[in-house]
Chain A
Amino acid sequence: SAVISQKPSRDICQRGTSLTIQCQVDSQVTMMFWYRQQPGQSLTLIATANQGSEATYESGFVIDKFPISRPNLTFSTLTVSNMSPEDSSIYLCSAPGQGAMGTEAFFGQGTRLTVV
Chain B
Amino acid sequence: AQSVTQPDIHITVSEGASLELRCNYSYGATPYLFWYVQSPGQGLQLLLKYFSGDTLVQGIKGFEAEFKRSQSSFNLRKPSVHWSDAAEYFCAVGGVSGTYKYIFGTGTRLKVLA
Q: Which residues of A contact B (CB under 8 A)?
A: 4, 6, 31, 33, 41-45, 48, 92, 94, 96, 100-110, 112
9-residue interface stretch from B18-26, B39-47, B62-70, B75-83 = B39-47
Bound Cα distance A31, B98 (Å): 14
Bound Cα distance A4, B42 (Å): 12
Bound Cα distance A77, B113 (Å): 40
Name the contact of B34 in the complex, choosing from A4, A104, A110, A112 (C-beta under 8 A): A104
| Residues B51 and A110 in contact, CB atoms below 8 Å apart | no
Between-chain CB contacts (< 8 Å), 15 pairs: A33-B102, A41-B106, A43-B44, A44-B104, A45-B102, A48-B101, A101-B99, A102-B95, A104-B94, A105-B94, A105-B100, A105-B102, A106-B46, A107-B43, A109-B43
| Residues A45 and B43 in contact, CB atoms below 8 Å apart | no
| Residues A102 and B51 in contact, CB atoms below 8 Å apart | yes
Across the A-B interface, how many residue pairs have beta carbons closer than 8 Å? Answer: 63
Bound Cα distance A105, B101 (Å): 9
Query: Does more than half of chain A's interface fall in helix, strand or loop, or is it mixed?
Result: strand
Which residues on the B side are within 8 Å of A108 (C-beta)? 43
Which residues on the B side are within 8 Å of A100 (C-beta)? 51, 95
Q: Which 4 A-B pairs have the closest CB atoms?
A: A102-B32, A101-B95, A102-B95, A109-B43
CB distance from A34 to the nearest CB of B (A): 12
Bound Cα distance A102, B98 (Å): 9
Bound Cα distance A103, B90 (Å): 16
Known: A43-B44, A105-B92. 16 other contacts (CB 8 A): A6-B43, A33-B102, A41-B106, A42-B106, A45-B101, A48-B100, A94-B102, A101-B32, A102-B94, A102-B95, A104-B34, A105-B94, A105-B102, A106-B46, A108-B43, A109-B43
Name the contact of A92 in the complex, choosing from B44, B92, B105, B107 (C-beta under 8 A): B44
- Nearest residue (CB) in B for A29 is B100
Which residues on the A side are within 8 Å of B45 (C-beta)? 107
Bound Cα distance A42, B44 (Å): 12
Q: Which has the most chain B C-beta neighbours within 10 Å: A6, A43, A103? A: A43
Which residues on the B side are within 8 Å of A105 (C-beta)? 34, 46, 92, 94, 100, 102
